[in-house]
């Protein structure tokens, strides 16, 4: 009997010392960790929805700044002060600011575009000046309209643009599912078209708004004039006005007047605002999550990019409130001047490179506060090694209907690409973003609290997984 018992125990010991048994044991421990991670991520999402924290942060940011946060204004400074205080309350150990030089541009109060009818009557159409637009010396300029559907057509135009007004009329390609692709296809006419027209002698430009819908809300945005080119008035008109004007031109209407008192008023300084927590195990590996604090001035900048700022601040709060301690160094960065120069992102990267820092991962939210859909990944060389790590953790995020994309990251973090880390863009549902982008409709009432809070939870979940497992 004793011999039989000893033989049984020997067999059990042999079984559990076999490679198969050790594999089973490891497999079991991995399953346990996955269950812990799944529970933790579920907890993050429940807290995000129950607390309404991201929406409260966005509401208070807009209230504290006074609405918009245009670069170089007191509104921006008030927004930056609010963010510093908020980061302190969230629990960041080190809070700092990075000044960067920005061009201060001011919108005129009497900017306008008028159609001039054959009988001499003037009809106002919805219009706003583009950022960096020049002025018309406190008077309206009037001229024949020349229509263009591509900025390269300005270079090949056989006529004389001197004394005329260039109209850039390319619409969004409505056949595209991804509205950001449609935006990319049309936006060059706004950014570079006025400069090209000015070089050919045009006295002003009007541009169809970069919008996915048809309405009478014009959308502003940056336009860039080269050194040595005097800025001319550059106005965005609403999509409905653009379609009507295009039709009238085909019927023979050729004259429009433009008035703008907008223009640059010097150089000033804005601050990046940074919250940091040192990692316990890998302090030299930085995980950054950020958005840009500045906005255009004709709305609240709620989706662009107040939502991104709320996303990343709330993501870190959700993690810290669980008691989780970062293994890697965490940085929450609210960037200055993305809209009108990218000064904040460029200065952050310059100083980071000077210090020989390494950003293992940088996440940017700058696509609105809509339902989370995906994260998009970019790396300096090959994504293969990084994606092996991402694919191991992704099943935990697929449960929340999050996909993987390769459609870029974010403007503010893109200068960090040379460090060799992984750049990540947060991608919410894009279908409604360009209904609001850069317009008077970009206000708090057009942000859904539940969708915004889910975005913060998604970003917090990705930060957690990268921090715990690395890349």
Alpha-carbon distance 310 to 322, whole Å? 18
Same domain for 121 and 240?
A: yes
User: Is 26 part of a structural domain of the chain?
Assistant: no
Token pair in block for residue 124: 């106002």
CATH no. for residue 221?
3.50.30.30
Asked if 104 and 268 count as a contact pair (C-beta separation under 8 A), the reply is yes
Helix (H, G, I), strand (E, B) or coil at 271: strand
DSSP 130: P
Q: What is the pLDDT of residue 34?
A: 87
The CATH number of the domain holding residue 334 is 3.40.630.10
The pLDDT of residue 31 is 79
- Sign of torsion over alpha carbons 189, 195, 198, 203: positive
346 and 309 within one domain? yes
DSSP string, 139-205: S-EEEEEEEESSTHHHHH--S--TT-EEEE-PPP-TT-S-HHHHHHHHTHHHHTHHHHHHHTT-SEE
Q: Which residues contact 64 (CB under 8 A, 6 or more apart)?
A: 78, 79, 81, 82
Predicted local distance difference test score (pLDDT) of residue 22: 44
Residue ending a domain, among 245, 261, 277, is: 261
Q: Residue 215 — φ and ψ, nearest 5°?
A: -160, -175
- Same domain, yes or no, for 334 and 430? yes
Number of Cβ within 10 Å of residue 24's Cβ equals 12
Other beta carbons within 10 angstroms of residue 143's beta carbon come to 20
356 and 449 co-located in one domain: yes
Number of domains comprising the chain: 2
Q: What is the dihedral angle through the alpha carbons of 394, 396, 399, 405, rounded to the nearest 10 degrees?
A: -20
Of the candidates 320, 367, 321, the one whose C-alpha atom is nearest the C-alpha of residue 467 is 320
Please indicate, yes or no, whether the overall pTM of this predicted structure exceeds 0.85: yes
pLDDT score for 27: 58
- For residue 218, give its domain range: 109-261
Find where tokens 């890349």 sit.
Answer: 471
Proportion of the chain in helix, strand, coil states, percent, rounded to 5:
40, 25, 35
DSSP state of 379: E
Q: Contact, 336 vs 397, CB < 8 A?
A: no
- State the chain's mean pLDDT as an integer: 93
Looking at residue 12, its pLDDT comes to 35
Q: Are residues 254 and 271 in the same domain?
A: no
Which of 228, 261, 294 is the last residue in one of the domains? 261
Q: Examine the fold and report which residue of 233, 261, 289 is the final residue of a domain before the chain moves on.
A: 261
For residue 129, count CB atoms less than 10 angstroms from its CB and return exposed for 0-12, middle for 13-18, buried for 19 or more. buried
Report the DSSP pairing between strands 122-125 and 282-292.
unpaired
374/259 Cα distance (integer angstroms): 43
Q: Which two three-digit tokens encode residue 450? A: 């539940």
* 319, 403: one domain: yes
Altogether, the residues listed in the chain come to a count of: 471
103 and 294 Cβ atoms separated by less than 8 Å? no
Query: Do 83 and 185 sit in the same domain of this protein?
Result: no
Q: Name 426's Cβ contacts closer than 8 Å, sequence gap at least 6.
A: 308, 311, 363, 364, 365, 366, 367, 372, 375, 455, 458, 459
Locate 434 and state its tokens: 């360009």
Residues of the chain with pLDDT under 70: 1-27
């Amino acid at each position: 009997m004793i011999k039989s018992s000893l033989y049984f125990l020997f067999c059990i010991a042999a079984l559990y010392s076999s490679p198969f048994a050790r594999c089973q044991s490891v497999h079991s421990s991995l399953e346990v960790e996955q269950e812990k991670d799944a529970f933790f991520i579920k907890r993050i999402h429940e807290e995000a929805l129950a607390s309404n924290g991201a929406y409260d942060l966005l509401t208070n940011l807009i209230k504290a700044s006074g609405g918009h946060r245009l670069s170089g204004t007191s509104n921006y400074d008030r927004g930056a002060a609010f963010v510093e205080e908020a980061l302190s309350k969230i629990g960041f150990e080190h809070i700092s600011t990075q000044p960067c030089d920005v061009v201060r541009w001011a919108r005129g109060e009497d900017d306008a575009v008028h159609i001039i009818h054959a009988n001499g009557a003037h009809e106002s159409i919805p219009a706003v000046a583009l950022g960096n637009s020049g002025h018309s010396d406190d008077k309206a300029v009037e001229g024949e309209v020349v229509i263009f559907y591509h900025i390269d057509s300005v270079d090949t135009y056989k006529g004389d643009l001197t004394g005329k007004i260039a109209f850039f009329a390319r619409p969004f390609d409505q056949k595209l599912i991804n509205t950001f692709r449609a935006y990319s296809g049309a936006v060059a006419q706004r950014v570079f078209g006025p400069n090209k027209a000015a070089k050919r002698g045009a006295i002003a430009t009007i541009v169809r708004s970069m919008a996915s819908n048809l309405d009478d809300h014009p959308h502003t945005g940056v336009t860039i004039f080269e050194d040595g080119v005097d800025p001319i008035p550059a106005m965005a008109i609403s999509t409905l006005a653009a379609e009507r004007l295009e039709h009238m031109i085909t019927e023979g209407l050729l004259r429009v007047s433009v008035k703008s008192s907008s223009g640059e008023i010097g150089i000033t300084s804005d601050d990046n605002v940074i919250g940091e927590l040192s990692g316990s195990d890998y302090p030299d590996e930085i995980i950054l999550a950020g958005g840009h604090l500045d906005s255009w001035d004709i709305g609240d900048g709620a989706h662009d990019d107040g939502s991104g700022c709320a996303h990343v601040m709330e993501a870190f709060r959700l993690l810290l409130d669980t008691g989780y301690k970062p293994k890697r160094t965490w940085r929450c960065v609210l960037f200055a001047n993305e809209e009108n120069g990218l000064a904040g992102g460029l200065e952050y990267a310059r100083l980071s490179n000077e210090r020989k820092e390494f950003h293992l991962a940088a996440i940017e939210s700058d696509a609105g506060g809509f339902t989370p859909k995906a994260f998009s990944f970019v790396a300096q060389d090959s994504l293969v090694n990084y994606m092996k790590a991402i694919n191991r953790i992704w099943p935990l995020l697929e449960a929340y209907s999050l996909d993987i994309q390769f459609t870029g990251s974010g403007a503010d973090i893109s200068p960090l690409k040379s460090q060799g880390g992984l750049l990540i863009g947060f991608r919410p549902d894009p279908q409604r973003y360009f209904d609001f982008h850069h317009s008077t409709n970009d206000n708090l009432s057009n942000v859904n609290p539940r969708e915004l809070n889910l975005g913060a939870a998604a970003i917090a979940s990705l930060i957690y997984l990268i921090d715990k497992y690395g890349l």
